[in-house]
Structure 1
């Protein structure tokens, strides 16, 4: 494929990668808190997650270009296929290569973390295949789920429950139900990022037949839905702190990032502002989620030390 470094970097959507890493970092610090941490798991889980996120980004460009969802009325950054810089054939090759890298990295992760545990290894291998398929099927195929309003559910599942919970299990080799609280928080914030993206693109998605939740419910209800995602996310995280981290005072350091989420929620209710202004809020919410995790990690380690 012809090499245009700038175009491919844009297509990778690097600003989405911090959100992907949030899941692995959260699952890893939870495992460390339970006395179970493996550097090999952290490294390979991070690589696998990054490949899956990049795969989703590239497949999204490919699928939206095929369907016509990426058009001149779209409010976000201009896509490279849409601009004619990258061809559909080149993007399809990139999707195949990235899917292969994600598969290889995932297999190594399983071998590193689940030695001798055949049943668990098989289960994670199947989940890995499911994750690769889901990353592609969001906008690609005869009936992509992203065009039927199911994107938020899959983001919550993969960035929250499976991403955080799965990482915890790979470290610890066991399961603890309270992990669902911080996992749900990260998943809900991740769904919020997708919702912002869909609110921004609501007009172009309507005309292309892409039925996201904002298209189906309307802009104002979508703003209240966004507020609900953030409130529920913080509710789950605060429950985790209050009930299960009462002796971990440093974990409360993560509350420093709360104003970022408050401003993010307020921005969605500015209905007269151009939808393109929501683009910066995508970055803010993605980085805000990562900083929440980093502050939680930092505070927890400070107390331990």
Structure 2
């Protein structure tokens, strides 16, 4: 594998649809509210992609350093695990990507039409996002190893991702948008939960105590069903509260893909779960795109 291909592999491009979903939802909400700052929208996308790549690099580094990737892992072989990159190269990548994410995020805040108080708040959220991406699996006590990854994903890929994007793109805040932000958050946690169910046995051996390790596979599947159901209930709740036209319910066309995800999880063996991660990430992106289509038509 060439060095370039190794970096592309380490960046895990298949995770980007999920990362983009929260920004797109924020952008579509801004469109529905009648105002979109195009430059801020593009910078929000760039910043989100950089944060996702940073998280992937950090996850590759942290799991390799802790030994989780050295034996028993079910998913695709990672860059460090496969010997395609060195620890030194990955440390340099972590620093560079963190710096680029900070510069992009700061540029976003500078072009956004928001008051000073909001700017400072979002700057703090951005810095926390960078720290959270790194410390998920890196450090003396990474929070991803004590079952807190789900909460972090819900916050940064749901609440902060959608509400923050909407705020910098539109310049306003609407509390009812929390429902759609939560919806994206639940689906994002669902992808993480699938990842953790897939790696359950290896994580158990290496003391990576994710929620599926604590719950066991059967209860982790039930948890997955609760996550996806909650995502749909919060989305429907938002639209019933903000009903203007039946077109805004076009997003329900994505429902069969989520049902399929649950059905396959229930029937699949441990080593056959990996394709469901990509399937749920793409289903979430479709869910968001259909929201945008509904608002455009309406």
Q: Is structure 2 residue 272 aligned with structure 1 residue 274?
A: no
Please point out which of 193, 201, 210 is paired with 1:195. Answer: 193
Report if the CA contact (8 A) 1:71-1:204 is conserved. no
Which residue does 1:30 correspond to in 2?
Answer: 29
Distance 1:265 1:210 in 2: 24
Q: Is structure 2 residue 268 aligned with structure 1 residue 255?
A: no
Which residue does 1:69 correspond to in 2?
Answer: 68
Which residue does 2:47 correspond to in 1?
Answer: 48
Q: Is structure 2 residue 289 aligned with structure 1 residue 291?
A: no
Which residue does 1:228 correspond to in 2?
Answer: 226
Cα distance per residue 1:9-59 (max 9 Å; x no partner): 111110100101100010111111111211011100000000000000000
Distance 1:41 1:229 in 2: 31
Distance 2:194 2:177 in 1: 26
Distance 1:210 1:72 in 2: 13
- Pairwise CA RMSD: 1.3
Question: Where does the alignment leave 5 or more consecutive residues of structure 1 unmatched?
Answer: none
Q: Is structure 2 residue 30 aligned with structure 1 residue 5?
A: no
Which residue does 1:162 correspond to in 2?
Answer: 160
Q: Is structure 2 residue 171 aligned with structure 1 residue 176?
A: no
How far did residue 3 of structure 1 move? 6.3
Cα distance per residue 1:266-295 (max 9 Å; x no partner): 12212xx43221111000100000011111
Look up the SS of the partner of 2:293 in the other structure. Answer: helix
How far did residue 118 of structure 1 move? 2.1
Cα distance per residue 1:49-76 (max 9 Å; x no partner): 0000000000000000110111231110
How far did residue 85 of structure 1 move? 1.3
Distance 1:27 1:248 in 2: 20
Q: Is structure 2 residue 9 aligned with structure 1 residue 14?
A: no
How far did residue 171 of structure 1 move? 2.1
Q: Please identify, of 67-76 and 129-138, the stretch whose mean Cα deviation from structure 2 is larger.
A: 67-76
Q: Is structure 2 residue 296 aligned with structure 1 residue 301?
A: yes
Look up the SS of the partner of 1:222 in the other structure. Answer: helix
Task: Report how many residues are paired.
Answer: 298
Report if the CA contact (8 A) 1:114-1:121 is conserved. no
Report if the CA contact (8 A) 1:250-1:296 is conserved. no
How far did residue 242 of structure 1 move? 1.6
Distance 2:6 2:269 in 1: 26
Look up the SS of the partner of 1:156 in the other structure. Answer: helix
Distance 2:271 2:127 in 1: 35
Q: Is structure 2 residue 129 aligned with structure 1 residue 131?
A: yes
Distance 2:113 2:94 in 1: 28
Please point out which of 202, 205, 212 is paired with 2:203. Answer: 205
Distance 1:100 1:250 in 2: 42
Distance 1:281 1:83 in 2: 23
Distance 2:67 2:116 in 1: 44
Distance 2:65 2:245 in 1: 50
If the length of structure 1 is used for normalisation, what is the TM-score?
Answer: 0.95
Distance 2:33 2:288 in 1: 16
